[in-house]
Chain A
Amino acid sequence: NAGVMQNPRHLVRRRGQEARLRCSPMKGHSHVYWYRQLPEEGLKFMVYLQKENIIDESGMPKERFSAEFPKEGPSILRIQQVVRGDSAAYFCASSPQGAKSTDTQYFGPGTRLTVL
């Protein structure tokens, strides 16, 4: 069973461009979470999605950031008009369908975004 897949692993953007980060959860997993790790810091929750639904986006910046998890295909984290402060590692995690809220989340390898 393949793990959580994220691509690209590394992404370089200039200020003002758009960044699209993709996450394919583990097979049989229907819950997806996005976290951001700023340099020298721990991970911070951004958003929790199920198929076609955003369940909790309390950690998402109010502007420029959006997330989706369509019926078909990977979950996408989209950052519009990137700024240098968006440079970070973005991690996706997933948990199985039917999982309890306190069950383990399984993490992907992350996408390291660098904004020039």
Chain B
Amino acid sequence: GNSVTQMEGPVTLSEEAFLTINCTYTATGYPSLFWYVQYPGEGLQLLLKATKADDKGSNKGFEATYRKETTSFHLEKGSVQVSDSAVYFCALISSGSARQLTFGSGTQLTVLP
């Protein structure tokens, strides 16, 4: 079956630090990969996505590259801000599945001023 493994949290960084949140996956078929962000008390917002190998998704300074050879989709940002404090979820949807998003357990990020 499909599964997503995310880097354990919580992660605490100082403002302007470099961020990496690791994500690896197991899936049938050729999945699309997503990063969603959840701010306190809110629902999930799509941060970025990639639909095929070697694609790079990017948004708001965040990037992630779909690596088929290592089955990974690590999230990176060069310089985090306090406003990036949130929970980040890696997710996939497999072309072989009936539209079920499979989520990782989430990584809590806190950015200190």
Contact = CB atoms under 8 A, between A and B. Distances in A.
Interface of A: 4, 6, 31, 33, 35, 41-45, 48, 55-56, 58-59, 91, 93, 95, 101-110
Contact of B100 (A45, A95, A107, A110): A45
Interface of B: 4, 31-32, 34, 36, 42-46, 49, 51, 89, 93-95, 97-106
A43 B43 CA distance: 11
Given A42-B105, A109-B42, A104 B34 contact: yes
**Which of B44, B93, B106 has the largest count of A CB atoms less than 10 A from its CB?**
B44
B99 A31 contact: yes
Contacts, number: 66
Nearest to B36: A107
A108 B94 CA distance: 22
Given A45-B100, A45-B101, A48-B99, A102 B51 contact: yes
Nearest to B45: A107
